[in-house]
Amino acid sequence: MSKSTHTYATQPARYHINVLGQVLKFIPRDIIHRSARETGVDVKARTYTVLSHLGTMLFAQLAHALSLNDVCDWLRLKARAIAAFGLTPPSRNNLSNSNKVRDAKFAELVFWPTSSTMTAVLGVSAPAAMPGALCCTASKCASMQWTPRSWSWWPIA
């Protein structure tokens, strides 16, 4: 009998990637591009795109990642799956630098129009009214850095 070194805690569950794809489909691309231009986040992007950063931070919330290393490792394992969404897995240095340099106001400018679109199209209530939803306000977003622990504006089930 061979001992397996595979543990389920070392790899992200498949449903995290599926849910990530579904969430990204709900966010209109024009909102992402307009918000990136408005906040100047797209100017600071060279190889690591704004869409990839947004997808990475959403994945960090969905997977309840404990560190940036976890996020980078998990997304590198799922590089083929996330490529279908137009995302590239970040390197540790790239993600850390993007979290430090890019303004968190971008997240707020993407969230609220997406929330109103979801409310209008799907008929669901605004995420701020959902129990357990973590939404940022203007004052929180202005001082917030994009890290898995503080970048928690997306509703968590």
Domain boundaries, the chain: 11-143
Please state the pTM of the whole predicted model.
Answer: 0.69
Give the phi and the psi of residue 81 in degrees, each rounded to 5.
-70, -40
C-beta of residue 55 within 8 angstroms of C-beta of residue 82: yes
147 vs 77 pLDDT, higher one:
77
Q: What pLDDT does residue 120 have?
A: 80
149 vs 80 pLDDT, higher one:
80
Residue 64 Rama label (left phi>0; alpha psi -120 to 50; beta): left
- Nearest Cα to Cα of residue 146 among 110, 103, 112, 113: 103
Residue-wise pLDDT tens digits, 50-73 = 999 999 999 998 888 888 899 999
